[in-house]
Amino acid sequence: MTTNRENLERMCYTMKDEISELTNKSDTQGMELKDIQGALRLQNKMFDQQNLKMVSEEFSGFKILKIAPLFSRLLKWEAFC
């Protein structure tokens, strides 16, 4: 009877350790995912800035002045919808 109790106690401690280890791994993977999401957001912003720069260089001067009011109206309309 004593050996069964000792075996059960050992198994319980082993299971607690394994659960703790799995919890730590899960937390680590969650933090890694957040880091990846942050990196992707940063990369997306950089691409957006690069695209805006390319468009503004292509449509510089008078053309951009014609497009800007139309673009602002489009943004207002999208916000309304």
Q: What's the rounded Cα separation, in Å, for the pair 58 and 64? A: 9
Structure confidence at residue 23 (pLDDT): 96
Please check the confidence at residue 65 and state whether its pLDDT lies above 60.
no
Does 43 or 72 have the greater pLDDT score? Answer: 43
The CA distance from 48 to 40, in Å, is 12
pLDDT over threshold 80, residue 56: no
45-57 per-residue burial string, b: 16 or more CB within 10 A, e: under 16: eeeeeeeeeeeee
Residue 13 has pLDDT above 70, yes or no: yes
Strand runs labelled E in the chain: none
Q: Which pTM value belongs to this model? A: 0.52
Is-contact 14 6, C-beta < 8 A?
no
Query: 22-44: per-residue pLDDT in tens?
Result: 999 999 999 999 999 999 999 98
